[in-house]
Every structure is written in structure tokens, then in C-alpha cells.
Amino acid sequence: MRPFTYQRATDAPSAVQALAAAASTNTALTDGAIQPLAGGTTLLDLMKLDVMRPSVLVDINPLSNAWSAVSLDGGNLKLGALARMSDIAANPDIQRNYPVISDSLKLAASPQLRNMASLGGNVLQRTRCTYFRDVSYDNCNKRNPGSGCAAMDGFNRTHAVLGTSEQCIATYPGDFAQALMALDATVEITGKAGVRSMPFADLHKAPGNSPQIETSLLPGELISAFSIQGRWPRSTYLKVRDRQSYEFALSSAAIALDVQDGTIRDSRIALGGVATIPWRAREAEALLKGQKFGDALASQVAEAAFKSAISRKHNAFKIALGKRVVSRGLQQAATMEI
Ligand SMILES: Cc1cc2nc3c(=O)[nH]c(=O)nc-3n(C[C@H](O)[C@H](O)[C@H](O)COP(=O)(O)OP(=O)(O)OC[C@H]3O[C@@H](n4cnc5c(N)ncnc54)[C@H](O)[C@@H]3O)c2cc1C
Ligand code: SF4
């Protein structure tokens, strides 16, 4: 690991001030930049692998008192970005009103990691593409812009089939982000200019021609909270992986339904393990509105969710698998006892 300086923020203004000295674009996520440190479970791994080379770490954990609260006011949920994954997964109000959130967190990583890892760090975790994480490969456009993509003609079994570009096919690896997508969450961002909010769906950027730019956060900005309007008791997260524990998704679906007298009034579907960013299947979910749930409808929706999928040499199975995950996730949500 390369030498770096450790700073401990005392409050939000001091954290933001320290981070504002960061490089002028968020491409500096990989090299030389100043990085916030939350649980450290992604950041320190990548530093040990020499993939991320920050010169300064700003420890934001002293902000936990202010930034790890959970509030459920008038049916609206606010989650602090420094809340730990395990605490949110075990929260009975969240289990009752937003099972998709608790399921997505419980099915992620391991108990030890969930005890350390924060919600903000979780949504900002970086791809598990093996070529990205192994610096002996020079050709990775995300790590080394303009160098090519080793995965394109390499072993790409775990890579994405949705939202890809000719520059990068890396899968977004997290689980919780899909729950936030399905619940139309808003992300609260704290920076030098104060606090701003934006739809969570706008946080991650598809790779396009600049896979090294992964989010729309500005230099020095921190995620401080996530907000969700309304309660979604009929919601679920289904995750399929190579083994049943401690593994990233090959395909997952976060589903939220609002059903009245057997008719679907509102529906949201977000996909994980198959796309370059947390992926909302808007065209597919629209097919459910005003309908009664049934197997034929579920298959139609699943087909629509993967209409634009593009597979590479080793990952075509993800399209068939993803469709089954959507169908089964819908079935699971539609038949939940609430
Ligand atoms: C073996 C293993 C298996 C895993 N399996 C899964 C899995 O199945 N599903 C899953 O979802 N995840 C999985 N993970 C990922 C794990 O959940 C993440 O490492 C963790 O959630 C990151 O949170 P953290 O607080 O430790 O982030 P950190 O490592 O501290 O930070 C991650 C990144 O986010 C930045 N950051 C952190 N907080 C903020 C903030 N508030 N504002 C702005 N920037 C911030 C940091 O600078 C850094 O770049 C796994 C990890 C490991 C090591
Ligand atoms: S898929 Fe993306 S992250 Fe992986 S090698 Fe290609 S450019 Fe790098």
C-alpha cells in the first residue's frame, strides 16, 4: 500500500473543507485524490490492490451522530449515510414497511462486513471486474482511461448485459442501490455550497465514453442521507448468485408493488448483477399498471426488462437468468402477506 495521510473530520463543514481540496473532477477517484473514509471495506481493499491511490483519507466517522439516524416521519423514511448496513437490515420498522431494503442489505456481503460498512459507502462501491481490480492489466478504460477494455474479449461471465458501452461492460456490484432505485429514493448531498438533493436514479453514470466517471457527485461532495416517500410493505429483493452466501449477484431484482383489490396500481422494478449501473426497468414495470397479476403477465414483463440486453462471449446466460429472476420476484411480491 502506498503512503497516505490520515485526517479525522470533526464535523460536516470540516469534512467538506478537507475534501474540497480534491482534484477538479471525480475521475480522480482512482489516482492521488483525497477520499472520504467510512467503513473502509471497499476503499482499503482497493488501496491494498493499488487500484485506488489516494494521498489523503478523510475519516468521516465522527459525523456518525448526525449522519446515521433513521427517521420514519409521516410515512416518509430518511436514512443517514453513515448508518451501518447491519443496523438498517435489523430495524423492525424497515423490515415491516420497506422489506426490499432489509432484504437487499441482509443478502449482501457477510455479517462482519455489514457491521462495518455504511450505506453511503455501499452505494459508492466500485465494480468487481477482475481486470479493473488487477493492475497487472494495463487495458482497463475505467482505471486507465483510453487504454482499452480487457474484459471485452476476455473472460466476461460476470459482466453486464444492460447499459454497456464499447468502452466498458463492468457490472455494478451492490444490492442496496437496487432497493433505492425501486423506491424512487432521493439522495441528499452535502458539499461546500451547502446541501442539495437529487433523484438517486441520477447518481450513477452509465459508462458511455467515460467509464472512469462513475457518479454525478462533484469534487468534495459527500452523501449525507437517502429519503423515500411513502411506505412500500409489498416490496422484495430476490438475489441469485453462484453460492447462497457471501457472494455478489449474478442477477437480482428489487420489486415494489402497490396492489388494491387484486389490481396493480403502481409497480417498480430495479435490476442488479446484470447492468453497469443500478438499473430501473421502466418500460417493463409500466406493463403491470392497472393489471391483475398472473404468470403470463410476469413473463411478458420479464421479456421487456431485457429487451435491450447485449451479451458477450460468456454472459448470455444472464439474460435467461435475469428474466426468471424478474418473474419470480414479481410472483414473490404479488403473493406477499402484508
Ligand atoms: C468480500 C466482500 C463481499 C461483498 N459482498 C457484497 C455483496 O454481496 N453485496 C453488496 O452490496 N456489497 C458487497 N460488498 C461490498 C460492501 O458492502 C462494501 O464494501 C461496503 O458497503 C462499503 O461501505 P464502506 O462504508 O465500508 O465504504 P468505504 O470503503 O469506506 O467507501 C467506499 C467508497 O465510497 C466513498 N464514500 C464512503 N462514504 C461516503 C459518503 N458518505 N459520501 C461520499 N463518498 C463516500 C469512499 O471514499 C470510497 O471511495 C462486499 C465486500 C467485500 C469485501
Ligand atoms: S469492463 Fe470496464 S472495468 Fe472491466 S476491464 Fe473493461 S473497462 Fe475496465
Write the CATH number for 257: 3.30.390.50
Interstrand relation of 34-37 and 56-59 (parallel, antiparallel or unpaired): parallel
Contact at 8 Å (CB) between 306 and 273?
A: no
Q: Is 213 exposed, middle or buried (0-12, 13-18, 19+ CB in 10 A)?
A: middle
Residue to substitute in 26, 30, 31, 41 for testing ligand 1 pocket (most ligand atoms within 8 angstroms of CB)? 41
Q: Which ligand is nearest to the CA of 120?
A: 1
Distance CA 288, CA 304 (A): 11
Distance CA 184, CA 312 (A): 31
| Any domain includes 41 | yes
* CATH code at position 26: 3.30.43.10
Q: What angle do CA 96, 100, 85 make, to 5 degrees?
A: 90
Provide the residue type at 80 as one letter: G
Mean pLDDT of the region 144-149: 96
Mean pLDDT of the region 301-305: 98
Q: Is 154 exposed, middle or buried (0-12, 13-18, 19+ CB in 10 A)?
A: middle
Contact at 8 Å (CB) between 183 and 101?
A: yes
Contact at 8 Å (CB) between 287 and 277?
A: no
> Is the shortest distance between the CB of 125 and ligand 1 below 6 Å?
yes
| Any domain includes 52 | yes
Among the three residues 15, 43, 61, which one is the final residue of a domain in this structure? 61
| Any domain includes 174 | no
Among the three residues 14, 40, 61, which one is the final residue of a domain in this structure? 61
Residue 147 pLDDT exceeds 70: yes
| Any domain includes 226 | no
Residue 86 pLDDT exceeds 50: yes
Q: How far is the CA of 286 from the centre of ligand 2 (A)?
A: 32
Average pLDDT value for the chain: 95
Residue to substitute in 37, 42, 277 for testing ligand 1 pocket (most ligand atoms within 8 angstroms of CB)? 42
Distance CA 276, CA 292 (A): 32
With 0.75 as the threshold, say if the pTM is over it. Answer: yes
Nearest atom in ligand 2 to the alpha carbon of residue 143 is 8
Distance CA 177, CA 248 (A): 13
Residue 74 banded pLDDT, cuts 50, 70, 90:
confident
Q: What is the pLDDT of residue 24?
A: 45
Lookup: cell for 325 = 429472476
Please list, in sequence order, all residues whose beta carbon lies within 8 angstroms of the beta carbon of residue 210, skipping any fewer than 6 positions away: 27, 145, 167
Lookup: cell for 107 = 443478502
Q: How far is the CA of 268 from the centre of ligand 2 (A)?
A: 29
Q: How far is the CA of 80 from the centre of ligand 1 (A)?
A: 15
Domain count, the chain: 2
Nearest atom in ligand 2 to the alpha carbon of residue 131 is 5
- Using DSSP, how many helices (H) and how many strands (E) does the chain show? 13, 12
> Is the shortest distance between the CB of 240 and ligand 1 below 6 Å?
no
Tell me the pLDDT tens digit for each residue of 8-35: 999 999 999 888 765 444 444 455 578 9
Residue nearest to atom 8 of ligand 2 (CA): 140
Tell me 90's DSSP state: T
Nearest atom in ligand 1 to the alpha carbon of residue 85 is 21
| Any domain includes 152 | no
Nearest atom in ligand 2 to the alpha carbon of residue 156 is 1
The β-bridge partners of 89 are: none
> Is the shortest distance between the CB of 248 and ligand 1 below 6 Å?
yes
User: For residue 16, what are the domain limits?
Assistant: 5-61
Q: What is the pLDDT of residue 31?
A: 55
Among the three residues 61, 82, 104, which one is the final residue of a domain in this structure? 61
| Any domain includes 66 | no
Tell me the pLDDT tens digit for each residue of 185-228: 999 999 989 999 999 999 999 999 999 999 999 888 999 999 99
| Any domain includes 11 | yes
Interstrand relation of 5-8 and 56-59 (parallel, antiparallel or unpaired): parallel
Q: How far is the CA of 171 from the centre of ligand 2 (A)?
A: 9
| Any domain includes 246 | yes
Q: Which ligand is nearest to the CA of 215?
A: 1
